[in-house]
């Protein structure tokens, strides 16, 4: 996993403008798997206010590629801020081993010491499915209102 502040980038959002530089980024190249139907942290996808970035309002972006090894099973992905889900759930799967892109976007105010992370789960463990995620990135862009 790597953390790199100040990467160039741009993102459009309603209700404000976004600075042209990513305030913080976490990246991981390793392959990870999930076999449970409860949301858990995706390894390497955590950024902490006061350590990785300063507080404020952020556009939060997550991207990865993932697959599920059983037909009719779904992997679910969600952004959390301080343990509270923000934005929408993204689901992939349906066809066994079909590699699919996952992109999440949320906007949230992050204050002192809060953690931004991404979690994932399977929709069901019937048939013992395994979800696999490849390289992934979590980016925060400060939003100026």
- Under a CB-based contact definition with an 8 Å cutoff, are residues 9 and 143 in contact? no
pLDDT in tens, 30-88: 999 999 999 999 999 999 999 999 999 999 999 999 999 998 889 999 999 999 999 99
Give the domain ranges of the chain.
Answer: 2-144
Q: pLDDT tens, 93-131? A: 888 889 999 999 999 999 999 999 999 999 988 889 999
Q: Tell me if the domain spanning 2-144 has CATH number 2.60.120.760.
A: yes
Q: Which residue has the tokens 């090894």?
A: 69
Distance CA 83, CA 41 (A): 10
């Amino acid at each position: 996993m790597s953390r790199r502040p100040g990467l160039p980038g741009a993102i459009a959002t309603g209700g404000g403008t976004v600075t042209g530089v990513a305030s913080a980024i976490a990246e991981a190249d390793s392959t990870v798997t999930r076999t449970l139907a409860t949301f858990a942290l995706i390894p390497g996808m955590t950024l902490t206010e006061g350590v990785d970035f300063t507080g404020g309002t952020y556009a939060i972006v997550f991207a990865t590629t993932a697959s599920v090894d059983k037909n009719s099973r779904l992997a679910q992905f969600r952004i959390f801020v301080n343990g509270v889900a923000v934005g929408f759930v993204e689901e992939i799967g349906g066809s066994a081993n079909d590699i699919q892109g996952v992109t999440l976007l949320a906007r949230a105010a992050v204050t002192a010491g809060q953690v931004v992370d991404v979690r994932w789960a399977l929709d069901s463990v019937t048939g013992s499915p395994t979800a696999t995620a490849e390289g992934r990135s979590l980016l925060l862009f400060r939003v100026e209102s």
